[in-house]
Structure 1
């Protein structure tokens, strides 16, 4: 075995010539993957002027220098493009989306926490916090049980930060 099983980082061997080449290659890959951040996951063509250290998740229809790399993480280095195949559990913050994506073992998916709310199966289930809702009061007939129930619901919504007080 001459590479690590998960990320294919090159391993060093006793008596190996030019160990620094293998060591540096491993460091470049670690640098790209550790606390991953990518510029976009929607680009299918390489940018014209990338900076060393910038990464992209290659979108479908990849062309140019990214041909055949759909779904991989493409990182620009001093030595050109380095590609890391996606694996289950891989996560990247995506700059132009403003939220995290993760790989489920088959495809990249948007994360649950996004700037406009909390999502479950790509359906927003919690939106931005709304203003306060006044508690029930007044009326000709007061239903004590209904008022108590409404106050309990409002209390829970406030306690969870879903509405203001």
Structure 2
């Protein structure tokens, strides 16, 4: 018999008549603690850190090694019991604490925010400014900060 889990993040559910329910419940709370308003130390990175602190999280790279092997794109959570791995969902966002970037999972990879070049002068300043503003609006809309019309 397989253990029941939630459909989105595979959080463990309690089973009828289950002994030691606190273990399953605590596992679910540990995963929720890491995934709600997700914040990761860095990532994607392929190698686990040497001396992680309990509760720290990373986004695992696609060429993961060591304890992270085979866990590409997942969120690695360091707990008192070792590493836990949570699968990302399409549209999931995580703040990368190393630089403050808001990463977004597109269903296949973690994407950093889009960048755009600064205006570099030109003969027709008005058209260049309009182009930059249009690009800015598209990027803000892509991040869900506004709706472009």
Q: What TM-score bracket applies, with the shorter chain setting the length?
A: 0.7 to 0.9
Instruction: Give the counterpart of 2:46 among 25, 44, 56.
Output: 44
Equivalent residue number for residue 68 of structure 1: 70
Number of residue pairs matched?
Answer: 122
Shift of 1:104: 1.0
Secondary structure (helix, strand or coil) at the match of 1:30 reads helix
Which structure is larger by alpha-carbon Rg, 1 or 2? 1
Equivalent residue number for residue 5 of structure 2: 3
C-alpha distance in 2 between matches for 1:14 and 1:61? 39
Equivalent residue number for residue 132 of structure 1: none
Runs (4 or more) in structure 1 with deviation over 2 Å come to none
Runs of 5+ unmatched residues, structure 2:
119-125, 134-149
Equivalent residue number for residue 124 of structure 1: 116
Equivalent residue number for residue 27 of structure 2: 25
| Larger strand fraction of residues | 1
Name the TM-score, length of structure 2 as normaliser: 0.74
C-alpha distance in 1 between matches for 2:4 and 2:62? 31
Equivalent residue number for residue 106 of structure 1: 108
Runs of 5+ unmatched residues, structure 1:
112-121, 128-149, 158-165
Cα RMSD, aligned residues only: 2.4
